[in-house]
Structure 1
Amino acid sequence: MSRRKQFDQLKADFGKIKTDTFDFSKIERFFLLGDKRKFYQVIQDRTFQDLDMGEVFMFIDRTISRIGQQFLYSVLRTIPGNSKRCDKFEEIINVLNANPEIRDQIMLELSLLTNKDAYYISSLFLENHIPKPNWYWIIPVLSLISFSSVLASFLFPKILIFLVLLLMVNFGVHYWNKINLYKYSGSIPQLLLLNQIAGRIAKLPVMSSRVSPEVSDSIRAINGLGMQMSLFKLEVKLQSEIGLAVEYLVELVKALFLIEPLVLYNVLKELDSKRSEVQQVYEFIGELDVAMSISFLRNDVPYFCFPKLTSQKKRITATEVYHPLIYQSIPNSIDLNERSALLTGSNMSGKTTFIRTIGINAITAQTINTCFAEEFNSPVLKIHSAVRISDDLLSEKSYYFEEVLTVKYLLEESTSGFQNLFLLDELFKGTNTVERIASGKAVLAYLDKGPNIVFVATHDLELAELLENKFSLYHFTEVVQDGAIAFDYKIKTGNLRNTNAIRILELNGYPREVTDEATILANRIYNIKKAASR
């Protein structure tokens, strides 16, 4: 496909949800290997899974290159301590929106970095390289002897016999090194390509004045390795394009003079000394790609807003906020001032989805400066959750014990000195009703202390009554009409008053004997509780 056709296809697809496979084992490499100490918070695996952030990432991801895709994943997993990262994204977005022809050129350049080998560029500056073996000194000696023997053979042909024996030894070293060479045969050619692309982008009008001197210096520093690193491009080309006869001849020459191990370890030494330069170029391209991805996302959603991260403590305002993964999602609004939120309602009524919606928007507000709402205001928050807990069979942990450990972590974080957002669903489901309500009330009151904000969903109406002085109460409910169940997914103030659980059993064909007895017992229990509360 020609570059022109490739670009036309790219423009037709850009900004759309990707349909290709997401290989998270490669996508998350930059995040997993990178230094996370500089961030305000690294989103925990549990919270990332609880909020379905893997699926949210796939929806948000409109990047073009593999570098941009890795960088975006890292962005969504890390909350910075200030607004500099988001400010940089906004600056890039504004410049490229004002210069669409430059944006198109950058898109075309980034489309060259879609090879999956580009995922491994991050390893070149974040992982340890293969160390030289203790006997490495033999390699340059053997290479020098080989070179001298070739020259001497023109005067003394009998040396060719020695040269054949030497070649056998060198072949052993050459093919021992092949395993090491293959480890870099994908990443180093992609680094060369990355650097060439970064150099061309840095020279584009508008961009040239905005590229920092550090990035320009890094591009030049990596260019200095170009000649040596070309060996890796040659290795790939030999395997794919050149005929066998030529390949054998080139292999013979490389083996005789041990070119590959000499170049490999020299390149690794140079790369080791230029880790910061490689990372700067990588992040330069990553930031460009992520900024464009954010812009494409904003153009593709029904509506969005820029969040306001206020200094006001313990207040969240979300107006017409919606879940980005739900088609025609029903928006809801909430305004919490010096209080947390407790939501009641039946299964499938929308309470857990709403909690996830708040969590997702709290993350995207602080990572990509974008919220799926008409308005979203909140303080800077660390986000923690206990939404999707399950048995850990491999560790022989019961559901309840897993829950205990998860909630203990939340309690510890609540006194860390930072402001936190805690998201919980059905606290202590793994134990009996009395102890569940008692423990739940005590835990939620503890988490709510200070500037912390709690969103919790529960079926226990008694828990809502115990916490109504500390928490704002909301509920979701279903309506039974004409023998059918309908959900409006709208949040309503106050505690849930009317329940339809037994009525739903009737609608689903449970035996009359079962539903009648359940109704009688429910009424009896309600009457006992009512009498006890007087």
Structure 2
Amino acid sequence: MNYTQTSVGSEYLLNQLRDIKLSQETLEEDEKLYRAMEIEELREKVLLPLSKLGKHDFTDSSAFFYGNHTRGVKNPLIFNVLALLPVASIILLFVQLKLGILCLFMSFIINGIMYYRHKQIVEYGLHSVSYVANIINTGNQLAAIPDDKIQEETRKLKGNLKPLKKVLWLNNFVSMGTKGNGDFDAIVEYIRILFLLDFISYNRIIGTVSQHKENYRAIWEIIGRLDASIAVAYYRHTLQAYCVPSFTDSMEISFTNMAHPLITDPVTNSSDLGKTTLITGSNASGKSTYSKAVAINAILAQTINTVLADTWRMKPIYVATSMAVQDNVLDGDSYFIAEIKSLRRIITMLEKGKPCLSVIDELLKGTNTIERIAASAAMMDWLSNTNGINITATHDIELTEIMKSSYDNYHFTEKFKDGDIHFDYTIYRGPSNTKNAIKLLEVLAYPTRITEQANRLAEDFLLEREWNSI
């Protein structure tokens, strides 16, 4: 999805995908931009300055309006005074030639020492500041695009650029001698050393941007929004099918022909999911992929107004998941500890009153059967009485009976044919009535002693409801 041209656009798009807003006003405004960027003539006009700005690592350009940006060099007054020495020496040349030459030579030596002693301190900062100046320059170029479809953006850019215009010519000093012009660059390098232009320009740019950081933030966000809008328009163009979501006040998610965005040739599914849904099914049948597809599309619907489905309707809601949990050796967390911490995040969100779509894959599988089923049922019951929608996928068929009065049951299944297993990856109503774990061992040619004994033990347990010793 990241077809952005700039570091600003990438950062903006990432933040956009992580920042669900329950109001549809922003989505409607963004949709106008997505449609506008489908127009080739306008898109190319916007792309030209964006591509010139480009992507650069470690620019940290958003830090300037968050207040933790790179600080200027210490004691800037010293650099200002030293920068005046060569100017005074040049004036002195017309009064006393020898003294003027001596002063000019000494100022070059002193400023050269200062330049190379402090160059490393500001080298990283200059990289960041230069990109910030280029952001402002890009805003200046975008503001000059005469098109009614981005009239609001260009108007805001023009208003916020005024107090930052000084940054543009200050940046000329920072970028002097970096154009690859051979001998000329060497001469300019000496001028930058003699007059300490890097340090003075660096301090002035930081000071100007810090003084007008809200204006800079507005420019940054407009550039990011335009860049991200082009990326979303491109992304939509790559999809076989997509729709713009609709929203309802009912606790439901309803869709037709929904697809997972990372599968090249996906099997699509249609569902009308209510407040609580329990999905069962055998291994590799599609439970996890379906659950992830619902969660991902719910995020896309509420962030970039785009869903991989023919139709999609849902309640505006935050999304929290407990999926693909892993243990953490460094933190000393076992799988079960990591799992209950993941579930605790969901509980905390709901306790704070946030409406939440919780998607849980294999609830509490990191513990023993009796406690897992008991705790899972208790948690599912708690979730059913909160301000949210819950989708839980599990292997524990017992939960379909325990929770049948409060959860809608759905399942995935498979067929065995000619010694092989076939999945249709389609969701069906009702609880699962198939198991395939031992059959999969047979398909993968496990020793018959293992599979026959496993089948016998499973059959005995189903008849007697207790395990026989081996």
CA distance in structure 2 between the partners assigned to 1:85 and 1:236 by the alignment? 41
Match of 2:28 among 87, 108, 117: 87
Pairwise mapping of residues 28-39 of structure 1 onto structure 2 (< 5 A)?
Answer: none
1:125 and 2:62 are equivalent in the alignment = no
Quote the residue 1:231 is aligned against.
173
Shift of 1:85: 2.4
Shift of 1:364: 0.4
Quote the residue 1:56 is aligned against.
none
Match of 2:3 among 47, 56, 62: 62
Q: 1:467 to 1:299 in 2, by over 3 A?
A: same
Q: 1:89 to 1:409 in 2, by over 3 A?
A: closer
Amino acid across the alignment from 2:68 = N
Quote the residue 1:216 is aligned against.
158
CA distance in structure 1 between the partners assigned to 2:86 and 2:357 by the alignment? 68
CA distance in structure 2 between the partners assigned to 1:116 and 1:373 by the alignment? 35
Quote the residue 1:71 is aligned against.
12
Q: Alpha-carbon deviations, 1:177-215, whole Å to 9, x = none?
A: 322442244344444444344333333332474336432
Q: 1:199 to 1:131 in 2, by over 3 A?
A: closer
Quote the residue 2:144 is aligned against.
203
Shift of 1:248: 4.4
Match of 1:489 among 425, 429, 445: 425
CA distance in structure 2 between the partners assigned to 1:96 and 1:250 by the alignment? 41
1:403 counterpart SS class: helix
Quote the residue 1:295 is aligned against.
233
Q: Alpha-carbon deviations, 1:265-311, whole Å to 9, x = none?
A: 12211111122222222222222222222222223212111111212
1:326 counterpart SS class: coil
CA contact (8 A) 2:72 2:203 kept: yes
Match of 1:256 among 194, 209, 216: 194
CA contact (8 A) 2:73 2:203 kept: no
Shift of 1:341: 1.0
1:329 counterpart SS class: coil
Shift of 1:235: 4.7
For this pair of structures, how many residues does the alignment match? 464
Quote the residue 1:152 is aligned against.
92
Quote the residue 1:325 is aligned against.
262
1:504 counterpart SS class: helix
Shift of 1:159: 5.1
CA distance in structure 1 between the partners assigned to 2:192 and 2:144 by the alignment? 37
CA distance in structure 1 between the partners assigned to 2:123 and 2:154 by the alignment? 34
CA contact (8 A) 2:129 2:202 kept: no
Q: 1:62 to 1:392 in 2, by over 3 A?
A: same
CA distance in structure 1 between the partners assigned to 2:199 and 2:449 by the alignment? 82
Q: Alpha-carbon deviations, 1:8-31, whole Å to 9, x = none?
A: xxxxxxxxxxxxxxxxxxxxxxxx
CA distance in structure 2 between the partners assigned to 1:391 and 1:270 by the alignment? 48
CA distance in structure 2 between the partners assigned to 1:203 and 1:170 by the alignment? 40
Shift of 1:127: 5.2
**C-alpha RMSD of the superposition:** 2.4
CA contact (8 A) 1:304 1:374 kept: yes
CA contact (8 A) 2:177 2:186 kept: no
Gaps of at least 5 residues in structure 1 are 1-59
Q: 1:469 to 1:229 in 2, by over 3 A?
A: same
Match of 1:311 among 239, 249, 252: 249
Quote the residue 1:138 is aligned against.
78
2:152 counterpart SS class: coil
CA distance in structure 2 between the partners assigned to 1:518 and 1:117 by the alignment? 55
Amino acid across the alignment from 1:336 = L
CA distance in structure 1 between the partners assigned to 2:348 and 2:63 by the alignment? 34
2:114 counterpart SS class: helix
1:402 and 2:335 are equivalent in the alignment = no
Shift of 1:357: 0.5
Quote the residue 1:5 is aligned against.
none
2:178 counterpart SS class: helix
CA contact (8 A) 1:506 1:515 kept: yes
CA distance in structure 1 between the partners assigned to 2:177 and 2:185 by the alignment? 9
CA distance in structure 2 between the partners assigned to 1:406 and 1:352 by the alignment? 17
Shift of 1:487: 0.5
Q: Alpha-carbon deviations, 1:244-264, whole Å to 9, x = none?
A: xx4444333333333332222
Amino acid across the alignment from 2:18 = R
CA distance in structure 2 between the partners assigned to 1:63 and 1:132 by the alignment? 30
Quote the residue 1:363 is aligned against.
299
Q: 1:296 to 1:134 in 2, by over 3 A?
A: closer
Q: 1:191 to 1:162 in 2, by over 3 A?
A: closer
Higher mean C-alpha displacement, 145-154 vs 281-290 = 145-154
Q: 1:390 to 1:93 in 2, by over 3 A?
A: closer
Amino acid across the alignment from 1:293 = A
Q: Report the TM-score when normalising by structure 2.
A: 0.91
Quote the residue 1:452 is aligned against.
388
CA distance in structure 1 between the partners assigned to 2:375 and 2:174 by the alignment? 62
Higher mean C-alpha displacement, 382-391 vs 83-92 = 83-92
Quote the residue 1:186 is aligned against.
127
CA contact (8 A) 2:33 2:229 kept: yes
Q: 1:422 to 1:257 in 2, by over 3 A?
A: same
Quote the residue 1:413 is aligned against.
349
Q: Alpha-carbon deviations, 1:372-416, whole Å to 9, x = none?
A: 112211111111111111111001111111122222222222222
CA contact (8 A) 1:117 1:186 kept: no
Shift of 1:147: 2.5
Higher mean C-alpha displacement, 364-373 vs 227-236 = 227-236
Higher mean C-alpha displacement, 454-463 vs 147-156 = 147-156
1:372 counterpart SS class: coil
Match of 1:267 among 205, 214, 230: 205
Shift of 1:474: 1.0
Q: 1:380 to 1:265 in 2, by over 3 A?
A: same
Q: Alpha-carbon deviations, 1:334-356, whole Å to 9, x = none?
A: 2123x311111122110000000
CA contact (8 A) 1:185 1:233 kept: no
Amino acid across the alignment from 2:242 = F
CA contact (8 A) 1:365 1:371 kept: yes
CA contact (8 A) 2:129 2:206 kept: no
1:427 and 2:367 are equivalent in the alignment = no
1:186 counterpart SS class: helix
Quote the residue 2:214 is aligned against.
276
2:176 counterpart SS class: helix
Gaps of at least 5 residues in structure 2 are none
